[in-house]
Amino acid sequence: MSEMPYGVWGKVLRVDMTQGKVWEEEVDEAILRKYLGGTGLGVKYLFEEVDPKLDWSDPGNILFVGSGPLGGTRVPGSGSISFVAKGAMTNGATSTQANGFFGTYLKFCGYDAIVVRGASSQWKYLYVHDGGAELRDAAHLLGKDTWQTEEAIKEELGYKERTMSVFSIGPAGENRVRFAGIFGDRGHAAAHNGVGAVMGSKKLKAFAVARGTKKVAIFDPQRLSEVSKQIVENAKNWGGGILYNWGTSRVISTAEAGGWLPVKNYLTDLFPEHELFVGDRVRAIFETTNYPCYACASHHYELMKVTEGPYAGYFGKEPEYEQWASWGPQIYQKDPGAALMLANEVDRLGMDTNEASWIVGWVMECYEKGILTREQLDGLDMTWGNVEATLALLRNIAHRRGFGNLLAEGVKRASEQIGGEAPLAIYTGKGNTPRGHDHRGRWVELIDTCVSNTGTLETQMVVREPRLWNMPQPFDPYNPEHVATAEANSKGSMQVSDCLVTCWFQSLNDTDAQTKALNATTGWDMDVEEVKKVGKRAVNIMRLYNLKAGLTPDMEKPSPRYGSQPVDGPNKDKSIAPHWEFMMEKYYELMGWDRKTGMPLPNTIKELGLEDFVKPERSANPG
């Protein structure tokens, strides 16, 4: 093995849950340069080691969690982490990220990533520290929510706040709810495509990573400091500093004005009470404490206590935009204190807030229309905005009690089993659901959610240098050609951040600045085009894997409600349906994929160096 460059250790921690063994594995520098880390390295492991035909709950599935070459540096948001697995919602590849401290602390312990496979007969948690790692008994942690688990492990091992990062599953993950997530560092979430269910299938309750004492060597500290400062300045200035100062908490009113706020399960786009949930109003009323992630000075993440209304005194994290949208307008609930409580309870139970809210909204509409009865719903009065009934339903789902057992399968599977007017449900043909938006007002994200390889939004239109990714300028969000072009050409931009691994809201997917930071850290001489290829490579590896898993092009479409035309609001005269096939044709063409089979074309394979991934004789190797 060649000598490792600056910024990376070249070490992966391997964990076999079946045998209860933990060991180190070396990774060559050439591999790290080609895939960087995080999502890029994770999807390589997934493709090589997990048979696409296996079910997500099979012990042969892996759960990869990785930092990247910027982890442990002063680059803002570099404490982030990326999880990769065969996901429970789509039964295909997934990549989902969380911010916080985990990525940096893992690097401080001397590892770039962890790869977990197998399934234990007894519940365990993984304790990672300076001297290595060990599996510990977790029987006493069963039934605890994610905050309780974090506190219990820190107390047990003798760590104070911010000296250890704990990411765990709650009751939902223990019970393999398909949309269970992994939560840590006081509510940071890696919640998409059921990674928490995968973790639960392995009987792994938590990752506990101490803040080790190993320091990440930097090739050019002065240059990295300069680039990091520029990234901070860019974040402060972007959009007038809205994300830097407020996170996503001020987006509610913008979304309502643009017709992309989800209201009453897409029954309307009007929510006059939107201003009640806006961040500057809520922060002025509730008690707040800034709780920034590693190497981040923004006010994106706040801890908050409710000070008025029936939930006064409740303490948790400030909801992100998607949580406000989920537990306010989507279920037609108008109390910010109640929304904060529900958002935090979903996190504590360990479920994806988006899928959970689509389910609750669907149940409420079905209840209103007589498709579901109070008796079927275990006595719950699921009228619009009923907070206590919603909380009870969420707990039933997390514990798979009564009707909650069916809902734990996700809204697509539940609605298909109920039948009748099931098209009321919002989902894609692959089984995943949108983020907390009404995508009928965000066509790029509607297409992206349907074609996504990860089971969630796969591209991000917050790209600081749109010309670098050949985005249409100016961009018309309802021009079919502009939409398809933006969707295809921006593919890979988000994955670059997820390979490094850094927070999107700090870097704004500024690939030029990210490349400079990467080279200053590692001493490599990568140019922007090489870095862009890393992101596109990750996208195409997941594509190849998912096709083998049976996620075919005919599944890349929205449910009837998801792809419907709004009945009111600013987009009531806009329908994506007539343009769908044109946009898909254009998207496939620009991606370099065959429209019929979905396969990347030979030129695409060659350009991205993926020849080894399409050899007929290649098969999954469990290692």
pLDDT at 623: 45
pLDDT at 249: 86
Please report, for the chain, the start and end positions of each structural domain, with discontinuous segments joined by +: 11-210, 224-420, 439-613
pLDDT at residue 424 above 80?
Answer: yes
Averaged over 262-277, what is the pLDDT?
A: 98
pLDDT category of residue 465 using cuts at 50, 70 and 90 = confident
CATH class belonging to 11-210: alpha beta
pLDDT at 422: 60
Task: Give CA–CA dist 453/92, Å, rounded.
Answer: 8
Task: Give CA–CA dist 618/604, Å, rounded.
Answer: 19
Q: Name the percent of the chain lying above pLDDT 70.
A: 97
pLDDT at 463: 64
pLDDT at residue 598 above 50?
Answer: yes
At the second CATH level, the architecture of 224-420 is: Orthogonal Bundle (1.10)
Averaged over 533-547, what is the pLDDT?
A: 98
Burial of 523 (0-12, 13-18, 19+ CB in 10 A): middle
Q: CATH assignment of 439-613, given 3.40.50.1100, 1.25.40.10, 3.90.1150.10, 1.10.599.10?
A: 1.10.599.10
CB atoms within 10 A of CB 91: 24
Q: How far is CA 220 from CA 75, 78, 217, in A?
A: 13, 17, 9
Q: Are 330 and 300 a contacting pair, CB within 8 Å? A: no
Task: Give CA–CA dist 309/301, Å, rounded.
Answer: 23
In the three-class reduction of DSSP (H, G, I as helix; E, B as strand; rest coil), residue 284 is classed as helix
pLDDT at 1: 45
Averaged over 527-544, what is the pLDDT?
A: 98
Task: Look at the block and give the residue holding tokens 């070490």.
Answer: 11
Task: Look at the block and give the residue holding tokens 């670098």.
Answer: 468
pLDDT at 615: 83
Q: Look at 46-55, 79-88, 419-428, 498-507 and tell me which has the smallest mean pLDDT.
A: 419-428
Q: Are 336 and 252 a contacting pair, CB within 8 Å? A: no
Averaged over 383-395, what is the pLDDT?
A: 98
pLDDT at 467: 85
Task: Give CA–CA dist 106/209, Å, rounded.
Answer: 6
Query: pLDDT averaged over the chain?
Result: 95
β partners of residue 15: 22, 116
The secondary structure element, H or E, covering residue 16 is strand 11-16
Burial of 385 (0-12, 13-18, 19+ CB in 10 A): middle
Query: Per residue in 206-259, pLDDT tens?
Result: 999 999 999 999 999 999 999 999 999 998 988 888 889 998 988 999 999 999
The secondary structure element, H or E, covering residue 225 is helix 221-237
Q: How far is CA 599 from CA 289, 544, 573, in A?
A: 49, 7, 35
H helices, E strands: number in the chain: 24, 15
pLDDT at 335: 98
CA 290 to chain CA mean position, Å:
23
pLDDT at residue 33 above 90?
Answer: yes
pLDDT category of residue 301 using cuts at 50, 70 and 90 = confident
CB atoms within 10 A of CB 373: 10
Query: Per residue in 130-144, pLDDT tens?
Result: 989 999 999 999 999
Query: Per residue in 328-352, pLDDT tens?
Result: 999 999 999 999 999 999 999 999 9
